[in-house]
């Protein structure tokens, strides 16, 4: 069950990453390495590796990784809300 929850949170994080990159936010213009296609790919690889690591550690019996990835997903949710609502 924990792996399914992690996978669902991973899908949310990938969607958040895509929404930020497609938002056209002025902050992205200040970070050209992050807004380029190369930066976008690097970010997705990082998201994937984080999800994979959490899933592997959870599969080995370490349940704290689910909570950590949940906090990471919640922080991403707050960040995307701030970015898309133009509060930052």
> 63: which 2 tokens?
């349940």
> 45: which 2 tokens?
């690889």
How does pLDDT run across 60-78, given as a tens digit for each residue? 988 899 999 999 999 999 9
Q: How many domains does the chain have?
A: 1
Range of the domain at 73: 2-84
Who has greater pLDDT, 26 or 78?
78
Band (pLDDT 50/70/90 cuts) for residue 53 is: very high
Residue corresponding to tokens 């690591």: 53
Reference 2, options 62, 50, 46; nearest CA is 62
């Amino acid at each position: 069950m924990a792996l399914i929850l992690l996978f669902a949170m991973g899908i949310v994080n990938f969607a958040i990453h895509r929404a930020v990159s497609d938002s056209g936010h002025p902050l992205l213009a200040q970070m050209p390495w992050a807004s380029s296609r190369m930066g976008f790919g690097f970010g997705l690889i990082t998201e994937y590796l984080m999800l994979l690591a959490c899933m592997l550690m959870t599969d080995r019996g370490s349940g704290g990784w689910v909570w950590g990835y949940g906090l990471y997903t919640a922080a991403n949710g707050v960040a995307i809300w701030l970015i898309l609502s133009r509060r930052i």
